[in-house]
Structure formats: structure tokens, C-alpha cells
Amino acid sequence: MALKHLIFFTLLSILAISSFADTESSTTTDSGLVLNFYKDSCPQAEDIIREQVGLLYKRHKNTAFSWLRNIFHDCAVERCDASLLLDSTRRQLSEKETDRSFGLRNFRYLEEIKEAVERECPGVVSCADILVLSGRDGIVAVGGPYIPLKTGRRDGRKSRADILEQYLPDHNESMTVVLERFKSIGIDTPGVVALLGSHSVGRTHCVKLVHRLYPEVDPAPNPGHVEHMLHKCPDAIPDPKAVQYVRNDRGTPMKLDNNYYRNILDNKGLLLVDYQLAVDKRTKPYVKKMAKNQDYFFKQFARAITILTENNPLTGNEGEIRQQCNVANKHH
């Protein structure tokens, strides 16, 4: 898990200047969000979040992957309102506890960030914005582009565990389904290809891979890669709680880069969706372009993340500003 020293505090301001997202600091969007929403009500909010992300990343490298995944799992399900973070109640199952959220973790660290922000500005900054901004800063921590993201989201009051399947594409679904799910929130094909570049970092649990290995090996993956997968996943029915996983990218496992695309073109993707991305005629041209041009990958990735984080947010007087990210205020 160790990663050679990643300096991103000092680079953040430099990366911001050469951002890949085309936005202006004073502009608003149809979503009702705006850059620097807290400039008057809590001017230190984004700096506090950035500092906390940096401190937590130094202690726990895998937090960056978690924060990036949080954006997808929260914002792709109807709206970006931190419903993902809510704990189960007697009446509602938490999204965190569904099968589709398998592997999501490190939520307690978001609470640490929330507590730090609350000490400075009680009751001002939403958990939805903290989720998005921690994801943005996590992207920078693993070598990705700095993306100026708008803020002003408010928090939802209920879990959407009952409708997750309608919104989140599974890694075993057809590329048609994957493209259609993202298209419904305004993300086009190159945007989808770029978002799946998130598979460049982190790891995949053997639970998600064994169907490609047992009872018979899927003939599609590179034979050498299959050997590695079998070594890491020796059990046909792995224990979900066991530390059995395969790095998504054996070359640069802790870095968000375009090596993922070169891997899948060489049939070294882990998940079925990785394989499909490299062979489907709708996505393959973009895979090849991103494999050759990391700037193009980052530009499309930043654009897709921006669209995703602006998906149907609660703003104005809608929703609430939670006191704790895992509990809606009415339950206090």
C-alpha cells in the first residue's frame, strides 16, 4: 500500500491555474450551483477540506480511491445530495449496506472532515459539498487533474437504497446499458470512457472477479494476467471479508493515469466492463485516443466529473445542512 511521497499541497495552486475544466469563478449553472459558494459564509471551507484530505491521505493512502468512488455512488443515483452517507434506520436501509455498494469504505474519515469544517463554520457547509470536494482533492492526490467544482448543494433526508439498481450500472452489464445510464444524466460516450479510467487506481476484490476465473477461465483476458488473477484469487468462493484483491493497474496502482487504457487494449482489464470498453466499436476509438494522450483523458475526465457532480442537486431552501453526515437532522 505504500506510495512514494506524493506532494500535492504545494502543487494544488499550480494545478488550479492549468485546470482542465472550462469554468469561470463567477458563473452559475442551471443546477443552481456556483463556484466559491461559501466565500462569504465560510471562506475557509475549501481550504479546510483540502487540508484534511491531505492529512488523511498521508495516513491512509486508499482514502483517495474511496472519495472518488463516493462521487459516482452518490451523484449517479438520482441526485448529488449525500444520501450515500446516511446510516440505516428502522425504516430505511442505507445505500452503504447494499450489494451494489460492496467495497465502499472510509466513511468515518468524511465525518472527520465534517467535524473540522463544523468547528470553523457550524451548520453552513453541506455533507454533499464535502463529499464532492473531498473527491476532487482525492483525484489530485493520486495525480489527476485539479477540477474547479461548483458548490451550494444541500443534503437529502432519505436513503435511495431501493432504487440504486435503476441508476448504477453494474460491472457485468452490457456496454449499451452502461452508456444509456450515463447518457440519462448528460454524460456522453467519451465522458463514460474517461470516468471508467478511475479503474486506473485502487483494487478489485476477488468477489467481483471469480466469475471470470471459475469454473472455467474467461478466454478474453491476457493469459499472463489470468495467471496473476488466479494467484491473487485462489478460491472460487472467496470470503467477502477477507483481504483478497487484485490491483486494478499493476504498473501504476496508486496513480490516476492513462495506463489503464493501454492495459485494457492489451486485454489486462479485470472487470467485464473493462474488456467491453476496449472492444465495443462505440468506445474503442476513445480508449485508443486516451491511451495515447493523457491530456485528452484528463480533459474528458474533468468534464464528466463536473457533469456528474452537478446532477440534479438540492439547492436554496431544499433539503438541509446535516449536523452529522451519517444522520438526517430530524433523527437527532
The response to whether 199 counts as a known ligand-binding position is yes
Q: What whole-number distance in Å separates Cα of residue 159 and Cα of residue 74?
A: 10
Where does 214-253 have alpha helices with state H? 223-232
The response to whether 234 counts as a known ligand-binding position is no
73 part of the active site:
yes
Tell me the angle at which helices 127-141 and 63-75 cross, rounded to the nearest 10 degrees.
130
Which of the residues 73, 171, 225, 228 is marked catalytic? 73
The response to whether 83 counts as a known ligand-binding position is yes
Asked whether the beta carbons of 96 and 107 are under 8 A apart, the reply is yes
The response to whether 257 counts as a known ligand-binding position is yes
Locate 6 and state its grid cell: 506524493
Angle, CA of 63, 69 and 74, to the nearest 5°: 125
Collect all residues with Cβ–Cβ distance below 8 Å to 65 and sequence separation of at least 6.
138, 142, 201, 202
What is the radius of gyration, based on Cα positions, of the chain?
19
Amino acid in position 189:
T
Question: Coil, strand or helix: which one is 18?
Answer: coil
- Please tell me what DSSP assigns to residue 170: P
The response to whether 63 counts as a known ligand-binding position is no
The response to whether 226 counts as a known ligand-binding position is no
Output the CA–CA distances (angstroms, integers) from residue 328 to 102, 113, 187, in the order listed: 23, 17, 30
Burial of 93 (0-12, 13-18, 19+ CB in 10 A): middle
Q: What whole-number distance in Å separates Cα of residue 185 and Cα of residue 311?
A: 7
Annotated binding-site members for heme b: 199
Residues acting as catalytic residues:
73
Annotated binding-site members for Ca(2+): 74, 77, 81, 83, 95, 249, 252, 257
Annotated binding-site members: 74, 77, 81, 83, 95, 169, 199, 249, 252, 257
